[in-house]
Amino acid sequence: KRIAGILLALFMAGVSDTTAGEECTSAVVSPGASHDGRPLLWKNRDTDYLSNKVIYVQDCPFSYLALTDADDASGRKCFAGLNAAGFAIMNTVAYNLPENPDETKDLEGVIMADALRTCRTVADFEQYLRANQGPKFGSLANYGVFDSSGAAMLFEVHNHGYEKYDAAAAPEKYLVNTNFSRSGTPGAGAGYLRFDRATELFRRFPAGQVTFEEILGRFTRDLGHVLLKSPELDDLQKAPSGEDQWLYTGDCIDRQSTASAVVLVGRKPGDSLSMATMWVITGEPVCAIAVPVWVEAGESPDPLWNGVDAPLWGQSLRIKDIVRPLKDGNNDNYLNCVRLDNDAGTGFLPLIRNTETEILALTEEFLKQKRTPAELAAFQKQMAEKALVVLQSIR
């Protein structure tokens, strides 16, 4: 009864601090905060363009993996990515930074692809910012970056300036971000409720024990709300299976506009044999399964990019329609939780999470040995195909 009451309250609330356009939830984690001493970047990408792919771009000086819109086969507009030098980047739009309506805007994807192509280090990225700022730069964003040395930084960037924050210097040694900047106009911007919820989730980690697995498996799919105290994912299994249970997700980390999620795991500082891994979920996270990819593989597996819409994303969209069947107006902000999980065990979320846990375990074992590019390519293809088969089975 408690769960049903909470869900009903959320249904009736319909109150949101969201605005139209790009809205994302992210974090920059320094090696000092993570349990295995690697830097991490996390991004839940919220956007009006839902069809996402992962593209491998062969380029000089650095090839890279890019999270892109499905209509960009070139990978020259990137919304998160990792390059051959172990440099990674992601962003969130910051709506409270200075902007001039007469100047160029919305080039963050181009900026990130250019950074992946040219930057080896965080210092290189800062130099890139200094060299390119001006009225045609087209930036209004927070950029999270790390490199192979373990440096992990946040840059809040507009056309004529930037502020930088070292995640290692923060009290918790990580930085959570949504759609406002710390250096921007106080109280302006967007995403404050998601920021508070993500901060609440991160505070559950003991000091120095942040794990990418928890971010990937739970935070990306979080349906919590700091004001309305909605149920945790594990609580959904108590929901009565015989009746629909609607949840308003407009201010949740996982929501209707979430097109994908990435968790970038950096190289371990001082370990020349370690590799950086890009974990990617194409589609709304509660309807999709994370798979690993590596730049060293020299390709992206077909289920992540092939076709007009990538197969993994296409299946996630089909599943999304099961839990978000209401399409009139903004009604797709409401999610039917009983189709995710319930007291009869007929929801599909446990299957998704169990499959992902299995992929994580297989990947951990696989990476215990040094691997060739061919072995990496074959393994990431196997994991992507495994995820695809499971998603295809959901009805």
Contact 246, 338 (CB under 8 A): no
CA 214 to chain centre: 13
Do strands 64-69 and 277-282 pair parallel, antiparallel, or not at all (unpaired)? unpaired
The CA distance from 259 to 155, in Å, is 23
Instruction: Categorize the per-residue pLDDT at 201 as very low, low, confident or very high, splitting at 50, 70 and 90.
Output: very high
The CA distance from 124 to 142, in Å, is 17
Length of the chain: 395
85 pLDDT more than 70: yes
Question: What is the reported pLDDT for 273?
Answer: 82
State the alpha helices, DSSP H only, in 133-191.
Answer: none
pLDDT in tens, 243-258: 999 999 999 999 999 9
89 pLDDT more than 50: yes
- DSSP-derived letter for residue 317 is H
Q: Which of 188, 118, 129, 185 shows the shortest CA–CA distance to 153?
A: 129
The CA distance from 198 to 25, in Å, is 8
Instruction: Categorize the per-residue pLDDT at 229 as very low, low, confident or very high, splitting at 50, 70 and 90.
Output: confident
Return the structure tokens found at 224. Answer: 């919590």
Percent of the chain, pLDDT > 70?
95
- Please report, for the chain, how many H helices and E strands are present, in that order: 8, 15
CB neighbour list of residue 113: distance below 8 Å, 6 or more residues apart: 57, 64, 66, 75, 76, 77, 78, 81
Coil, strand, or helix at residue 179?
strand
Count CB-CB contacts under 10 A for residue 5: 9
pLDDT in tens, 335-368: 999 999 999 999 999 999 999 999 999 999 999 9
The residues facing 141 across adjacent strands are 93, 157
Coil, strand, or helix at residue 46?
strand
Question: What is the reported pLDDT for 13?
Answer: 41
CATH architecture of 2-14+22-393: 4-Layer Sandwich (3.60)
Question: Domain locations in the chain?
Answer: 2-14+22-393
The answer to whether the peptide bond before residue 61 is cis (omega within 30 degrees of 0) is yes
| Whole-number average pLDDT of the chain | 94
CB neighbour list of residue 291: distance below 8 Å, 6 or more residues apart: 279, 280, 301, 303, 304, 312, 359, 380, 383, 384, 387
Least confident of 110-119, 228-237, 272-281, 370-379: 228-237
Q: What is the DSSP string of 47-103?
A: -S---EEEEEE--SS--EEEEEETT-TT--S-SEEEETTS-EEEEEE-TTS---TTS
The CA distance from 140 to 122, in Å, is 19
Given CA atoms 247, 248, 252, 255 in this order, what sign does their dihedral have? positive
Instruction: Categorize the per-residue pLDDT at 21 as very low, low, confident or very high, splitting at 50, 70 and 90.
Output: low
Return the structure tokens found at 246. Answer: 């609607």
